[in-house]
Amino acid sequence: MKTIYISLLGIILLTACSQPKSKQKEVISSFSSDIKSRKAEPNTPTITVLDTDFSKGRLTLKHKLTLEDLEKFHGHLCDGLVVGFLGIKEGLEILYPDGIIDRTNTRIVSKSSPCLTDVAVYITGGRYQFNSFYVDNSIEHCFYIIQRKDNYKTVKVQMNKGIKPLEINKLGAKAVKGELPACDLDKLKQMEADFSEKLLTSNPKEIFTITEIRDFKWIPVLKNDYIKTDILNKNKSNCNQNS
Ligand SMILES: [Zn+2]
């Protein structure tokens, strides 16, 4: 498979999300966080979405979306993109058991990571101006909350504890502060690529927990001062330049 390019920092992985006082229903899928690395070929996950077929069209057009599509939209392929893609796929499969995601009927709340937010808007079609997307870092025990507009069924998407190597977050935090030396930046890139590969060769049901939320309150927040952490090191020197 294609080497996963790294980027970083975006993902200060969410220790989880959900509205503070929302009642949570059953845990739909929860599995051991002990993921054994498998030497299998990486999965090539896809998500099928349903859209209208022209500017005033009917809901008849299907598209199959891949990580490569997302890479072009986001700018690079990174572990955050893989986490978002696999996690949103798990959540959407609960909302749309037939496997076809109605982009005209879906809205989403995301944590502020530049990678996760790009996955959220690209895959669901949610946009703030149409009241179908907003960012909220106060959601707890998850990184996404996804809702169907027709029946208000709502799920939160959480990555299980122990899945992401702590070292990635540690180095990532230093990089965000501009304190990670050039050679360590390369090391972090490789660590994220390895993590992405691990995710793509694992069973997503062992990586994520999807939980239904009852009585979720959709409260759009408009905020534009989040830090775009994946561009902070864009002028960093190369490792061999020793700076
Ligand atoms: Zn990214």
How confident is the model over 129-158, as a mean pLDDT?
97
| Dist. CA 169 → ligand 1 center (Å) | 14
| Dist. CA 39 → ligand 1 center (Å) | 25
**Distance in angstroms (rounded) separating the CA atoms of residues 229 and 227:** 6
The two beta strands, 106-110 and 208-214, are: unpaired
**For all residues of the chain together, what is the average pLDDT?**
86
Task: Catalogue all structural domains in the chain, each as residue range(s) with its CATH number.
Answer: 23-35+45-216 (3.30.1330.130)
pLDDT band for position 21 (cuts 50, 70, 90): very low
Q: What is the pLDDT of residues 43-102, one digit of tens each?
A: 789 999 999 999 999 999 999 999 999 999 999 999 999 999 999 999 999 999 999 999
What pLDDT was estimated at residue 40?
56
| Dist. CA 32 → ligand 1 center (Å) | 26
Hey, is 211 helix, strand or coil?
A: strand
How confident is the model over 175-202, as a mean pLDDT?
94
Q: What is the pLDDT of residues 145-177, one digit of tens each?
A: 999 999 999 999 999 999 999 999 999 999 989
What pLDDT was estimated at residue 19?
52
| Dist. CA 234 → ligand 1 center (Å) | 13
**Distance in angstroms (rounded) separating the CA atoms of residues 27 and 209:** 7
Residues with CB under 5 A from ligand 1 (ion): 7, 78, 80, 115, 230
Angle, nearest 10°, between helix axes 166-176 and 182-200? 140
| Dist. CA 226 → ligand 1 center (Å) | 15
What pLDDT was estimated at residue 241?
55
pLDDT of residue 134 exceeding 80:
yes
Q: Do residues 95 and 146 make contact, with C-beta atoms less than 8 angstroms apart?
A: yes
| Dist. CA 120 → ligand 1 center (Å) | 13
| Dist. CA 23 → ligand 1 center (Å) | 32
What pLDDT was estimated at residue 43?
74
